[in-house]
């Protein structure tokens, strides 16, 4: 066995003695194994009927338009309080004074096309709550208008899972399980590299026919290999739970590349700082900043993975290759600075 693979084997063996990493893996295993139950629990938070039961009577909707409009009846039947207004200006005055929580403007002529305007408060929590509870009356009104125009398409006739469950699975659950091992891999790389420096075992390790770049590369490979095994297990468990996932090969490759990026960037920080606590702190900050910035970009690992999982026609291996190029550039930078670990 070459020294490189001997180091890889040593690092993988040390994982079994690290309780923190074992606990993190078990948490992921629990989430993936019970993803159906977790999904059900999360969706219960979005149950509009429960919201109406406990707080619906407190929501006041300012209605601008005909009082005898069917939408007014649907909103009232939903359990919301309706406050009629003759003009939008009067409704806005009451809205800013706190007399009503939202405003609905009904156009005078809705025979052909109806454009309902909904004014919501700035508070994200309140506006989200109002959108949830008023959604059903708006659907009923749309069905009413379809019937008036001779169209018999109804929401109750459409099959499939609710949109909320679809968004949660492919935008939250799958990316979380695929990328959490990558975050752990970066932490592993920092611990394994700084441990050699703090325990003064770096020179002993390099006395074997192994270069400093080879030693760092072996530690990164061990962390990424463990991450890949976890991601493969999570994909299998999700599919056993009945969750359809497209392009599993590309998803697994993207997860491995992201694990390589986090491990390489973490190793780069460990090489420059040579201190575990500072390296972990800087790594955590960079990780949080990177995750936040990536959500604002069209090219981000989270969006790419979600699109691959749903089988998006316009997302393919070329999108994954972008992150592979970034990994190669980052690893090249690590190779150029690795000598600083011995200074």
| CATH for the stretch 48-157 | 3.40.190.10
Give per-residue pLDDT as tens, 273-303. 888 888 889 988 988 888 778 777 777 888 8
pTM of the predicted model, to two decimals?
0.63
Q: What is the mean pLDDT of the chain?
A: 79
Paired strand residues for 85: 64
Are the CB atoms for 227 and 182 separated by under 8 Å? yes
Tens digit of each residue's pLDDT (9 = 90 or more) over 200-213: 777 776 666 778 88
pLDDT tens, 306-331? 889 988 888 888 999 999 999 999 99
- The residue ranges of every structural domain in the chain are 3-41+161-342, 48-157
Please write the tens of the pLDDT for every residue from 134-160: 888 888 888 888 777 777 665 555 555
Cα–Cα nearest to 121, from 55, 69, 59? 59
User: pLDDT tens digits for 162-218?
Assistant: 555 677 778 888 888 888 889 888 888 888 888 887 777 777 766 667 788 888 888
pLDDT at 44 over 50: no
Q: In terms of Cα–Cα distance, which of 267, 162, 279, 160 is closest to 217? A: 267
What is the distance between the alpha carbons of residues 80 and 133, in angstroms, rounded to a whole number? 9
């Amino acid at each position: 066995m070459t020294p490189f693979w001997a180091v890889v084997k040593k690092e993988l063996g040390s994982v079994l003695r690290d309780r923190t990493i074992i606990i993190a893996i078990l948490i992921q295993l629990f989430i993936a194994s019970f993803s159906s139950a977790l999904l059900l629990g999360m969706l219960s938070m979005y149950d509009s009927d429960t919201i109406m039961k406990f707080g619906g009577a407190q929501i006041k909707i300012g209605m601008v338009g005909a009082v005898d409009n069917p939408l007014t009846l649907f909103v009232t039947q939903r359990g919301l309080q309706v406050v009629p207004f003759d003009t939008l200006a009067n409704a806005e005055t009451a809205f800013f004074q706190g007399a009503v929580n939202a405003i609905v403007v009904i156009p005078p002529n809705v025979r052909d096309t109806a454009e309902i305007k909904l004014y919501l408060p700035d508070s994200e929590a309140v506006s989200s709550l109002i959108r949830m509870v008023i959604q059903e009356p708006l659907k009923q009104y749309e069905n009413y208008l379809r019937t008036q125009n001779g169209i018999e398409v109804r929401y109750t006739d459409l099959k499939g899972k609710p949109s909320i469950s679809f968004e949660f699975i492919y935008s939250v659950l799958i990316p979380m399980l695929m990328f959490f091992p990558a975050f752990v891999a970066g932490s592993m790389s920092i611990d394994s590299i700084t441990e050699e420096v703090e325990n003064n075992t770096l020179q002993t390790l390099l006395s074997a026919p192994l270069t400093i770049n080879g030693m760092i590369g072996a530690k990164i490979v061990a962390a990424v290999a463990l991450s890949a095994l976890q991601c493969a297990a999570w994909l299998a468990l999700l599919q056993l739970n009945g969750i359809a996932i497209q392009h599993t090969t590309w998803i697994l490759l993207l997860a491995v590349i992201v694990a390589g990026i986090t491990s390489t960037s973490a190793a780069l920080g460990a090489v420059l700082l040579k201190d575990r606590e500072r390296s972990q702190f800087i790594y955590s900050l960079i990780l949080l900043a990177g995750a936040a910035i990536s959500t604002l970009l069209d090219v981000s690992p989270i969006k790419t993975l979600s699109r691959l999982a749903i089988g998006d026609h316009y997302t393919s291996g070329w999108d994954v290759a972008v992150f592979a190029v970034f990994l190669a550039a980052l690893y090249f930078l690590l190779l150029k600075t690795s000598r600083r670990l011995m200074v």
